[in-house]
Structure 1
Amino acid sequence: MNQPKTLAIYPLGNPSEAELLDELKKTLQSAYPSLSSLGWSEFSERAIDRFLLNESRHGNSGLSQNKHFSHLSSGEKRRALFSQLIQEAPEVLLLVSPLESLDPANRAYFLEELHKLSSQCWIIQVLHRPDFLLPWTAEELDFDLRYRQLAPHQNKARSTEFANAIQAKGLPEFAEQKVPQQFDSLIEMKGLELHYGNRCILQDIHWRVKTHEFWELSGPNGSGKSSLISLITGDNPQGYGQPYSLFGRKRGSGESVWEIKSHIGYFTPVQLQGFGGYQNALEVLLSGYYDSVGLYQLPSDRQLRIARQWLDLLQIPLKNAFRNLSQGQQRLVMTARAFLKQPPLLILDEPTWGLDPEQVALFVELVNLMYKESDASLIYVSHHPEQGLKPTHRIQLIPHEEGSIANTYIVE
């Protein structure tokens, strides 16, 4: 057997993960014949999706023993999958953006374990951002899916043309006239606590989000970011009776979950799992007016015109099947979808995971513009600061044995 190598693969053209990985495997086996006889293990979003599906069908994913896999944060899911894979002693480990969506401690753990494995198995890292390159990588290659070709990686200067075009054009108008808000505080928490069984997740959280503020929410994996967001979106039943208000109403005072959601535009990459059918980009975008997964109502001429303006701004073909768009294109459509209905609060949960630097720059420009050209308040969830993002406030969750506490401050 040939000495194992660590390879870095940069996909060109930002294809979808599903079409990329299958063709990449075939191309690598042709370029490195010894890989054809070895067993492959995969660390990717589609691998995580398989375990989530297994849990929904059989009640157990097979990965997490202490609580449901679906209840874990994105970083915890990735660590659970990674721990399973390294226990299987893989011969070829194919990893898609393994170091993204991780806090520094988990990133250090991944690096240590991968370095140990690198002398025993091939490690093939698919990445979009060179700052997450494994430091002992032997070869860096570009992969062009159109021609099924590998070539030495070429560092290219980042194009700002797309981001500049968005800045120059500005955002499309809204379809409906905005209804005046009857509240000043969108979120007001006064000593909120959250427990799962005997485990305290959040303790004594004091946080107020007022109209037209831009908050960046950060914290390590498992610190409670997802749980905090679920309390805001109304999806966490433990919100009833807690000392906090949403959009001027005390939680549990008779409001429905749908009333809460009517004030919120929300995007997290997990939502993409629900849009795998044959809808085109225009239909997915228009469904944002109705908060539906799929378009089941006839949009007005004005809504249709504005949705087309959004896709033109984002340079995405109207009729392309949504599932065939690149990761970056899908996330731009979903972010615009969350913003279409002119919500008082827009929540973006780790939206740039798996995007290349040019796509991240475009996404950041779009988010900054959404805040600048609307009255909406924004909450942007991330593990690491995005260069160019311009929040007005920050909230950091800091883990303690008794539950995470919150540190809030104004950005100077």
Structure 2
Amino acid sequence: MRVPPARPPVIRIANGTFYRHHPTGTHSHPNPPLFSNLSFELPSSGAPRNWGIVGPSLSGKTTFLQILRGQHLCFPPTARSFPYLSTEFVPHRLRAATSAIQYVGFDAGNAALGVAASQYLSARYESRREDTDFSLRDFLLGNMEFNSIRLPGEEGVDEKLLEKVVVDLRLETLLDLPVAFLSNGQGRRARIAKALLASPEVLLLDEPFMGLDPPTVAGLSPLLRSLADKASPRLVLSARPQDPLPEWITDLVYLRTDCQVGAMGEKNTVLDGLRTYVRGVWKGGLAEDEMLPVHALGEMGRTLTENGIEGEGLSEEIVNGSARDDQDRSATEPPATTGEPLVEMSGCTVKYGDKVVLGGWSEERDGQTLDGLHWTVRQGERWGVFGPNGSGKTTIVSLLCSDHPQTYSLPIKLFGRSRLPEIGSGQLPLTFWDIQSRIGHSSPEIHQHMPRRLTVRQVLESAWADTFLSKPKLDDVAAGQVDTTLRWFAHELNPGFSSTEVGSAGQQPLNWATEYMFGELSFSAQRILLFLRAIIKHPEIVVLDEAFSGMDEAVRDKCMLWLAHGEEKTYTSGFSKSGSGKHSPMEASVVDSDAARSGNVKVTGLNDKQALICISHIKEEVPDCVREWICLPEANTGLPARFGRLDGPLRTDSKRWREIWAVAKQQ
């Protein structure tokens, strides 16, 4: 019996070194080699092999995926090829790597669903539809232009595949909505659906579960598994170390923080190697590689299965307990007493025509029947807002920030005042600019609309400006806070950071902050910068909508500590020796910083006059100080929102998290 010849790999990289710019040219920014002497193959036949690209922030996960698709300069040029795409097994429309290898990313530059980037924030909330408000159905079918025609030979979308993808990704009820109306999580599902409808040879998914609620993640992973089992398409996805990996992932690439490969191969083999490394550092017999930080590996190793998340992180396995102790490493307790109301919603219902997107319920409270959303936020309170994608969380944020046109007609008071004149009150109504100056806001929508041409410093300083592009009004105190924040986060925000570039006073120079633009930063760095912008001027209300998504565990915790204490506190080393002389994983403790000891603190954390409102689908991304919570139902179910109070941080007790989401599952 004749054995058919082996098919060539879809992607072949043999000792290739990659650059963003030509290495012999002159450039204003550093141009280090990316993944020097990289070798990688993605087979086209045999048992399906599905790769996970894992690494902490700034390790180059997105860059690695871009290289697989043919982006960035390769040296030598012949080191990268796509031999399978030129064979008879591949249709002509997929002969080019950019067609055969589809990339789905979820940073702000990729998440617009074809909506004009210049569109203003409130456009998604308007009930009037314009001719350019193409529906989700149009987006999936590729009908996003007027008088569009299909050229001879072009294939349409497979109707059966469309039906299956729409059902599996829970998009049936959204097909006739304009894409601008979709929530962040709904938009992510739509982008994945669009890529699947192209029937590519390879699908690159850049952190596909980021920003999705637990029920959607539970539904999406089996769909991707069905594709993985058939290798149609072949899947490569990226993830942070703390993200549980789907059980159908067969191979791993673990990236170092210097854009080089730390380990590559079969999943269990890579995990065993990393486990040995963590254990070696823990026992003190192995020096920690600063480009392979052990603290980033604490939660790695968990698996996303059909029954939920299983297994323990690498450090949990070693100490047979928590990867970190339960000390307060991210935020202080909320104030014991609360102050004046900052937000008062007294029966809010938001509709687009006949479609109710928030507050479509009645409930009994204190012997009264109340219609719509009734919610009060006071000074000093720390709130978590939860619920499935599309339940109205982002709509609540738009009401708070007055981006939503219906804010004017709804019974809402901000800072004790209405948006409209009140007869006999003697008070002037709040203006949009009043509200914007008193609320700090970080969200995927802000990320999408932040001008890419602003420098790092300009993005931070825009917290004191009326608009992104207007001139900020900074005094000496504000300027000092900006400088302090930039120095504290130089490692995370400066793409060319080097620990050797220290000034005579022991401080990093800040010229980089006026040289690098927002659009040149990594997704993680952009998220960090927008988080810092939201809190830097100590606004009366801080709104963090998925603000920590895209950050690895260590960077996220640093941001949480900054939120709680500013520059007053810092961490000791991630590993410290115990009395027995051994290293205990993740015993990093919070200590006074040099600035606190010298009495020279310029930036402090949350105070008891501020309120915090946090939206997240991941319990580790909820600050420890959050105690009050509201869980919204799915839209149009008629079930009311539920309220509760936590007896401790969500991060340290899964039972608290399950309690909140058990409500959502019943809905």
Q: TM-score range by the shorter chain?
A: 0.7 to 0.9
From 140, 147, 168, the equivalent of 2:252 is: 140
Report what 1:268 is aligned to: 443
Query: CA–CA distance in 1 between the matches of 2:452 and 2:439?
Result: 25
Q: Deviations over 1:292-319 (max 9, x none)?
A: 3246357444332221011112234432
Q: Which stretch shows the higher mean deviation, 138-147 or 56-65?
A: 56-65
More helix by share: 1
- Is 1:198 aligned to 2:198, yes or no? no
- Aligned residue identity for 1:6: N
User: Contact 1:218 / 1:384 at 8 angstroms: preserved in 2?
Assistant: no
Q: Deviations over 1:112-168 (max 9, x none)?
A: 2101111222100011144331211110102469666574254652169xxxxxx99
From 597, 620, 640, the equivalent of 1:386 is: 620
From 32, 52, 62, the equivalent of 1:8 is: 52
From 356, 372, 383, the equivalent of 1:215 is: 383
Q: Deviations over 1:71-116 (max 9, x none)?
A: 2111000111122222222210100111121112211221121011
User: Contact 2:461 / 2:472 at 8 angstroms: preserved in 1?
Assistant: no
Report what 1:230 is aligned to: 398
From 34, 44, 56, the equivalent of 2:105 is: 44
- Is 1:312 aligned to 2:487, yes or no? yes
SS in structure 2 of the partner of residue 208 of structure 1 = strand
- Aligned residue identity for 2:105: S
Task: Give the C-alpha shift of residue 220 in structure 1.
Answer: 0.5
Residues 228 and 275 (structure 1), Cα distance of their counterparts in 2 relative to 1, 3 Å cut: closer
Report what 1:86 is aligned to: 196
User: Contact 1:368 / 1:389 at 8 angstroms: preserved in 2?
Assistant: no
SS in structure 2 of the partner of residue 354 of structure 1 = coil
Residues 18 and 128 (structure 1), Cα distance of their counterparts in 2 relative to 1, 3 Å cut: closer
Give the root-mean-square deviation of aligned CA atoms. Answer: 3.3
- Is 1:76 aligned to 2:186, yes or no? yes
Query: CA–CA distance in 1 between the matches of 2:358 and 2:447?
Result: 28
User: Contact 1:95 / 1:124 at 8 angstroms: preserved in 2?
Assistant: yes
Residues 252 and 132 (structure 1), Cα distance of their counterparts in 2 relative to 1, 3 Å cut: farther
- Aligned residue identity for 2:194: Q
Query: CA–CA distance in 2 between the matches of 1:323 and 1:83?
Result: 27
Report what 1:188 is aligned to: 344
From 125, 131, 139, the equivalent of 2:243 is: 131
SS in structure 1 of the partner of residue 111 of structure 2 = helix
Query: CA–CA distance in 2 between the matches of 1:384 and 1:226?
Result: 16
Q: Deviations over 1:272-330 (max 9, x none)?
A: 33445343322221121114324635744433222101111223443241333333332
Query: CA–CA distance in 1 between the matches of 2:259 and 2:61?
Result: 17
SS in structure 1 of the partner of residue 200 of structure 2 = coil
From 605, 609, 625, the equivalent of 1:375 is: 609
SS in structure 2 of the partner of residue 240 of structure 1 = helix
Residues 5 and 58 (structure 1), Cα distance of their counterparts in 2 relative to 1, 3 Å cut: farther
Q: Which stretch shows the higher mean deviation, 104-113 or 270-279?
A: 270-279
- Aligned residue identity for 2:103: E
Query: CA–CA distance in 1 between the matches of 2:415 and 2:224?
Result: 46
Query: CA–CA distance in 1 between the matches of 2:246 and 2:118?
Result: 32
Q: Deviations over 1:34-73 (max 9, x none)?
A: 5665601122124323623389695437247422212211
Q: Which stretch shows the higher mean deviation, 60-69 or 340-349?
A: 60-69
- Aligned residue identity for 1:53: A
Q: Which stretch shows the higher mean deviation, 207-216 or 239-248?
A: 239-248
Query: CA–CA distance in 2 between the matches of 1:403 and 1:367?
Result: 36
> What percentage of aligned pairs have identical amino acids?
25
From 147, 157, 160, the equivalent of 2:294 is: 157
User: Contact 1:185 / 1:210 at 8 angstroms: preserved in 2?
Assistant: yes
SS in structure 2 of the partner of residue 140 of structure 1 = strand
Query: CA–CA distance in 2 between the matches of 1:232 and 1:107?
Result: 28
User: Contact 1:215 / 1:379 at 8 angstroms: preserved in 2?
Assistant: yes
Report what 2:159 is aligned to: none
Q: Deviations over 1:15-34 (max 9, x none)?
A: 67875542343499967855
Q: Which stretch shows the higher mean deviation, 224-233 or 125-134?
A: 125-134
Q: Which of structures 1 and 2 has the bigger CA Rg? A: 2
Q: Which stretch shows the higher mean deviation, 298-307 or 117-126?
A: 298-307
Runs of 5+ consecutive residues of structure 2 not aligned to the other structure: 1-43, 87-96, 120-130, 141-173, 265-269, 276-292, 298-327, 332-338, 360-371, 422-428, 495-509, 567-604, 648-667
SS in structure 2 of the partner of residue 252 of structure 1 = coil
Task: Give the C-alpha shift of residue 214 in structure 1.
Answer: 0.8
Q: How many aligned residue pairs are there? A: 394
- Give TM-score scaled by structure 1 length: 0.84
User: Contact 1:264 / 1:343 at 8 angstroms: preserved in 2?
Assistant: yes
- Aligned residue identity for 2:223: E
User: Contact 2:438 / 2:539 at 8 angstroms: preserved in 1?
Assistant: yes
Report what 2:222 is aligned to: 112
User: Contact 2:357 / 2:636 at 8 angstroms: preserved in 1?
Assistant: no
Query: CA–CA distance in 2 between the matches of 1:88 and 1:278?
Result: 32
Residues 206 and 83 (structure 1), Cα distance of their counterparts in 2 relative to 1, 3 Å cut: same
User: Contact 1:277 / 1:323 at 8 angstroms: preserved in 2?
Assistant: yes
User: Contact 1:202 / 1:405 at 8 angstroms: preserved in 2?
Assistant: no
Runs of 5+ consecutive residues of structure 1 not aligned to the other structure: 161-166, 171-182
